[in-house]
Amino acid sequence: MKLTVFGRDPQQADVVLSSTFVSGYHAELIQLDNGDMYLVDKSSNGTLLNGSKLVPGKETPVRRGDNVMFADVPLNWNQIEDLRLPANVKVVKTIGAHYTNDIKLQGAAVSRFHAALRQTNDGKWYICDYSKNGTTVNGRRIEKNNYVPLNAGDAIACAGVAVENPVKKKGAGKIIGISLAVLAVCAAIVLVVVIKPWPWSADKVYKEYNPSVLFMACGYHFEVECGALDISQIDDPNSIGQKLYSSFVIVDEDGEKYIQRYTGDNEMFGHATGFFIGKEGNIVTNLHVARPWLAETMSTSTGIKTIISVAEEHYRNKLSVLIELGYDNLIQYLPQLKVKGVLDYCIVIPNGNYCDLSNAYRCSEVIVSDNEEVDLAIMRLQQTYLPVGATYVPLKKITEKTKVALRAAQEAGVTIVLASGRPTTGIVPIAKEIGLDEYGGYILSFNGAVVTNFKTGEIVFETVLPHDKIQELYDASQNYGVSIVSYKDGWIVTENVDDKYVEIEARIINMPVVKVDSFVDALTHPVTKCLMLGDGDYLEKVEVEVNNLFGDVLNIYRSEPFFLEIMPQNVDKAYSLERLLAHLNLSRDEMVACGDGFNDLSMVRYAGLGVAMGNAQQVVKEVADFVTASNDEDGLVLVVERFFR
């Protein structure tokens, strides 16, 4: 663990930067023993990370090799020690006053990053001091920056504050092991994860993310495979005479970019658009861009596919003729003959600029579908970071890394609760993805109106709308000319199936829509939520009117400009979680809640450890105990690694 200060003042800075634009205490680089690094801007003129200005005071993840600018001075990574862990270390626990530590200590003399514990593969434990005020083992101050072995019974203190010794006395391990195993089952810490919809229209996506759009130009050729046979002995590929457009590549010499004709054999060319989906330069485009010979959707693709088909027929005929002429040894190669397409290059020009070479980049194929019915492909920039001025569209999906981390937490006895405004059935696919059906987690749906044991189906807590209000709510929707929906047996129930906002709701929660002749007559079951839908500007006025009518008995608010939520009174995530904790015989101190929206505020405040995602509303960050990385940066993984090891 190491804290490196950058700045102009030699009295404060570990790395002195000679520039009048650099502050005396400009920025901090935090290097943790687990390999994680965070950059914190403390300056007046700012710090840039890969072209983006850091939020002052926010700890932003950084990787070795990233482009960092302190005002006008670049970071020289050669000046920064590489603190990679030895291969024989299997456990690291950091100690200090800072919230990122595994073991957090309170005390005026405790440093932010005070010390660290390590366990090697042979099971032995060591401690290292990094602090100003020291760490003691059995009352003796240990040498700074030097790992000291620990024995059972050693008394550890950081600046006088006691720290639990991880080395257990012989003979006690079996008993404690059993006790811990019981606790892991019966008194597991609860991790609450918020599941958010993405109810954005195409217009809103374009308005917010048009800098993510890019122009792509690709060059291709075909290759002939025929087992061990040298196909050039049969025919020259150029004799086929099939070429599509002239191709080009980008050549970069001495910082100058220009177009050069591609002169390879059998060249083919296509162009298309795509958009960025990650800060690492990941791009979504079409199959007919990455592998046009597999696609049928575009004229260019069809042309390239035809060329490859003609080429294969050409070689097959040539080989057959040779066999007929008496070259019987060639028969074995006929089934092995195959002509395949190859992507030579892909040029990417961000921000929708057509052939503006000043900002052009190469990219390569990462993932494509072999199914021509799935016209999608993932590409990646070779530079592995976004160009200046570009942004990306968040995918809003659970990454494989997050799935693995959440499953590992459950294996260790952590109970996971998925909290969402969606109906219960709309959360089921996500719950299955992370294993709630295997480990026995909970679903908090309708913003807390229903809490369900996912494994058993038991409803732990439920509150519903007064049934006599359903007719009144329907009458109000008709009076104001907006659609109204509710939910029944895994379906969205409505009279207006063609409403575009109903279609958006169906897409968000992944539930089918059923048309009913009478909305009120269809809702004979207990109803947890109704939703009025309409144009945002108009629905804002409707919200006021509906609150005037029902605000004293119902909870009415807009979750999105075009969604007016109508819920029972006193529906609140914190209140529902309190009921769940009582059901599990747990306290709020045993709960970690992760959220990012306004409706997560009460939950984040209530939890023993409230966590705000990096993309959270500012007010959520202000009440949180810990701010993790964003949803798109696997922020939940960081939470699991920090607090559930």
- HEC letters along 462-494: ECCCCCHHHHHHHHHHHHHCCEEEEEECCEEEE
Check pLDDT > 70 for residue 174.
no
Whole-number percent of the chain with pLDDT over 90:
16
Question: What is the torsion angle, in degrees rounded to the nearest 10, for the CA atoms of residue 232, residue 233, residue 238 and residue 243?
Answer: -60
DSSP code of 236? -
Tokens of 409: 């937490």
pLDDT at position 243 is: 39
| Other C-beta atoms lying within 10 Å of the C-beta of residue 168 | 13
- Of residues 515 and 369, which shows the higher confidence score? 515
- Of residues 447 and 565, which shows the higher confidence score? 565
Sign of the four-CA dihedral 607, 611, 616, 621 = positive
Average pLDDT, stretch 455-474? 90
Check pLDDT > 90 for residue 479.
yes
511 — pLDDT class (breaks 50, 70, 90): confident
Task: Report in angstroms the alpha-carbon separations of 609 from 59, 592, 593, 605.
Answer: 18, 5, 7, 8
Distance between CA atoms of 39 and 58, rounded to whole angstroms? 8
DSSP code of 86? P
Query: Which residue pairs from 2-8 have beta carbons closer than 8 angstroms and sit at least 24 positions apart in sequence?
Result: 2/30, 2/31, 2/81, 2/83, 2/113, 2/130, 3/28, 3/29, 3/30, 3/31, 3/112, 3/113, 3/130, 4/28, 4/29, 4/31, 4/80, 6/70, 6/75, 7/43
Check pLDDT > 80 for residue 599.
no
Tokens of 172: 């006690």
Check pLDDT > 50 for residue 337.
yes
State the pTM of this model: 0.47
Angle at 54 between CA 49 and CA 56, to 5 degrees: 150
Name, of 250-254, 368-372, 461-465, the range with top average pLDDT: 461-465
- pLDDT (tens digit, 9 = 90+) per residue, 111-154? 888 889 988 877 789 999 988 889 998 888 999 888 899 987 78
pLDDT at position 75 is: 93
178 — pLDDT class (breaks 50, 70, 90): very low
Of residues 397, 420, 395, the one with CA closest to residue 597? 420
Average pLDDT, stretch 70-98? 84
Check pLDDT > 90 for residue 461.
no
Which residues neighbour 618 within 8 Å (Cβ) at sequence distance 6 or greater? none
Beta bridge partners of 217: 271, 347
Structural contact between residues 533 and 483, judged by C-beta atoms closer than 8 angstroms = yes
Task: Report in angstroms the alpha-carbon separations of 240 from 291, 325, 404.
Answer: 21, 22, 51
- Of residues 40 and 618, which shows the higher confidence score? 40
Check pLDDT > 50 for residue 572.
yes
Check pLDDT > 60 for residue 167.
yes
Radius of gyration in angstroms for the set of CA atoms belonging to the chain, rounded to a whole number:
31
Of residues 126, 135, 188, 194, the one with CA closest to residue 160? 135
Whole-number percent of the chain with pLDDT over 70:
83
Check pLDDT > 80 for residue 450.
yes
Average pLDDT, stretch 489-503? 89
Provide the CB-side half-sphere exposure for 497 (13 A, CA): 11
Average pLDDT, stretch 547-575? 84
Tokens of 204: 């809103």
Beta bridge partners of 530: 566
